[in-house]
């Protein structure tokens, strides 16, 4: 909450039918640009905004941002993510947002012995079989054993260096997340397709 915006602000074309509510836990500006560049009108909300206030924006989708800190200490964020998931609209999370999505589905997180920092982390997309070169900056991860026990969660991406969980999606809701940073600027740009998938999910929902 210390690195979040103090007040809500908007970006993009207000006439757009693509309306995305962004929960700001330390969001990177280029993440916002990646959504606006794809035609979205976004409203960025402070970290402790309740779901009822988010819904007043009438979003067609929700984005859970990256940010610093231990996700397990953010009970307020986990509750908000649970509430927006119940709405059934598309949800996309990056980094801390990935961990919060896991926690909202009963999957624990842990402090890594060695975090992932910097460029050139190889991540395998288990859906396509392709390897993506990624940018990462996190010291906490999603518990792989807890993921295996979660019947409603599917692992979509795995780190090829240490087999840690890099992406998940829900089987029963239009929600997904990745641990790394697809918006990385400068590059690599291997994972920018994730923003396209989020927009497509909103359009088809």
Catalytic residue list: 95, 181, 183
pLDDT at 187: 80
Taking phi over 0 as left and psi of -120 to 50 as alpha, with beta for the rest, 58 belongs to left
Full strand arrangement of the beta sheet holding 165-170 = 9-11, 41-45, 19-23, 61-64, 91-94, 175-178, 165-170, 153-159, 109-125, 131-142
What pTM value is reported for the model? 0.96
Q: Mean of the per-residue pLDDT values for the chain? A: 96
pLDDT at 178: 98
Query: Tens digits of per-residue pLDDT, 13-28?
Result: 999 999 999 999 999 9
Task: With cut-offs at 50, 70 and 90, classify the pLDDT of residue 118.
Answer: very high
Relative to beta strand 131-142, strand 19-23 is: unpaired
Alpha carbons 143 and 132: distance in angstroms, whole number: 22
Alpha carbons 109 and 98: distance in angstroms, whole number: 10
């Amino acid at each position: 909450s210390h690195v979040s915006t103090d007040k809500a602000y908007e970006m993009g074309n207000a006439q757009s039918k693509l309306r995305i509510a962004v929960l700001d836990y330390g969001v990177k500006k280029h993440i916002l640009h990646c959504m606006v560049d794809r035609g979205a009108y976004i409203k960025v909300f402070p970290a402790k905004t309740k779901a009822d206030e988010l819904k007043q924006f009438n979003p067609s989708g929700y984005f859970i941002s990256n940010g610093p800190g231990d996700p397990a200490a953010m009970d307020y964020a986990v509750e908000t993510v649970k509430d927006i998931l119940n709405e059934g609209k598309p949800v996309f999370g990056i980094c801390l947002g990935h961990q919060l999505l896991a926690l909202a589905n009963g999957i624990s997180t842990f402090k890594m012995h060695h975090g992932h920092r910097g460029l050139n982390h190889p991540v395998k997309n288990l859906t396509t079989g392709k390897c993506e070169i990624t940018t990462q900056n996190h010291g906490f991860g999603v518990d792989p054993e807890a993921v295996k026990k979660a019947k409603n969660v599917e692992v979509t991406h795995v780190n090829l260096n240490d087999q840690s969980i890099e992406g998940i999606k829900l089987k029963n809701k239009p929600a997904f997340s990745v641990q790394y940073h697809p918006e990385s600027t400068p590059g690599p740009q291997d994972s920018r397709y994730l923003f396209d998938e989020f927009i497509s999910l909103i359009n088809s929902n």
